[in-house]
Amino acid sequence: MKIPSLISRRRFLQLAGAAAVLPRVLRAESAAWPGIGISIFGANTWEEGLRDIAAIGYKNVEVHLGPGPTDPTVLLPPGRREFRRMLDSLGLKISGFTTHTTSLLDDGPALAQNLDAIKAAAQMGHNLDPGTRPHLQIQSNGVSEEWGPNRAKLLDRFGLFADTATAAGATLAVKAHAGNAVDTPQKLLWILQHASHRALSANYDYSHFEFTGISLAESLAMLLPYTTFLQVKDARMEGGRRHYLLPGEGDIDYAEYFRLLRRRRYTGPVVVEISAHVKVRPGFDFKTCAQSSFTAVDSGRRQA
């Protein structure tokens, strides 16, 4: 399988040497705010998860495409049609799809598998949300130390992934994740500014920046002009390691968070992420966690 490169080395050098790169202000297509959403990662079944989040008051759902009941290899066309019917009956919208890939630096068969995962995610999106451009989310994976010697390759790969998503009728949001090759607002901003790809945007999650010395306001100022999807959860450092928590369990001030979003006129989805760190807690219950998360986030929104 021959995999084309979107950006040649010469083109990369031309972009990197540009005197100025103007930000692309990306906003939700609909004038109506899509409301607070949640990923159904952690629900026992997608049917139960959808019913629970609708009853709590969530307005949209992020579909987790990794191992589990909504994996594209598990949720086949008949199930996808039922998923769509259930969304309609509950009044829920889809905010995005979490797409699982290996490191973007991978070559050979692993790269081909990653591109196939993007195509499969886009097809799932068209099945579950017909008539829209599915919003797919990925991260770089890898480790932080790979950034320096590989940022040109990462730029090329993000472009290739965005090109693949575009060809499949989808868009792509990139998430900076603590410990990954792209793990800071500055790195993600560099990718977005130099990729020059209209299908590429940011998935913003402050929990990955919280202990890096950069404030919520500073990181939002950098990334919000490029952000089409925003995830919320808390984090805590213990023994030098980051532990992800439910919204309201940490130190993020959600009232201030929503004030900043309103001030900067963000109109995209705000989606709760229940981390795998929470899912492994003894006695984990998806509905209980979804309820406490909604209370914390919605309380902040109302205060703002």
Please tell me the predicted confidence (pLDDT) of residue 184: 96
pLDDT (mean) for 25-49: 77
Residue 93 identity (one-letter amino acid): K
Find all residues with CB under 8 Å of 31, minimum gap 6, and list them.
267
Q: Is residue 176 part of a domain?
A: yes
Q: What are the tens digits of pLDDT across the range 50-80?
A: 999 999 999 999 999 988 899 999 999 999 9
Q: Is residue 151 part of a domain?
A: yes
CA distance 52 to 186: 37
Q: Phi and psi dihedrals of 221, rounded to 5?
A: -60, -35
Q: Is residue 17 part of a domain?
A: no
Q: Is residue 15 part of a domain?
A: no
C-beta separation of 133 from 141 below 8 A: no
CA distance 208 to 274: 14
CA distance 73 to 66: 10
CA distance 133 to 172: 10
Please tell me the predicted confidence (pLDDT) of residue 264: 93
Tokens 């591109």 correspond to what residue? 115
Q: Is residue 5 part of a domain?
A: no
Please tell me the predicted confidence (pLDDT) of residue 27: 40
**Would you say residue 5 has pLDDT above 90?**
no
CA distance 270 to 257: 11
For the entire predicted model, the pTM comes to 0.87
Sequential DSSP letters for the chain: -----SS-HHHHHHHHT-S--PPP----SSSS---EEEE-TT-SSHHHHHHHHHHHT--EEEEE-SSSTT-TTTS-HHHHHHHHHHHHHHT-EEEEEE-----TT--THHHHHHHHHHHHHHHHHHHHSTTS--EEEEE--S-GGGHHHHHHHHHHHHHHHHHHHHHTT-EEEEE--TTSSS-SHHHHHHHHHHH--TTEEEEE-GGGTTTTT--HHHHHHHHGGGEEEEEE-EEEEETTEEEEE-TTSSS--HHHHHHHHHHTT--S-EEE---HHHHTSTT--HHHHHHHHHHHHHHHHHH-
Domain residues for the domain of 51 are 31-303
Q: How many domains does the chain have?
A: 1
**Would you say residue 14 has pLDDT above 90?**
no
pLDDT over 90 for what percent of the chain? 84
Find all residues with CB under 8 Å of 120, minimum gap 6, and list them.
65, 72
Tokens 């097809």 correspond to what residue? 123
* Least reliable range by pLDDT among 12-26, 71-85, 231-245: 12-26
Q: Is residue 297 part of a domain?
A: yes
Q: Is residue 13 part of a domain?
A: no
Query: Residue 52 is part of a domain; what is its CATH number?
Result: 3.20.20.150
- Rg (C-alpha) for the chain, rounded Å, is 19
- Residue 85 in tokens: 């019917």
Q: Is residue 232 part of a domain?
A: yes
Q: What are the tens digits of pLDDT across the range 236-270?
A: 998 889 999 999 999 999 999 999 999 999 999 99
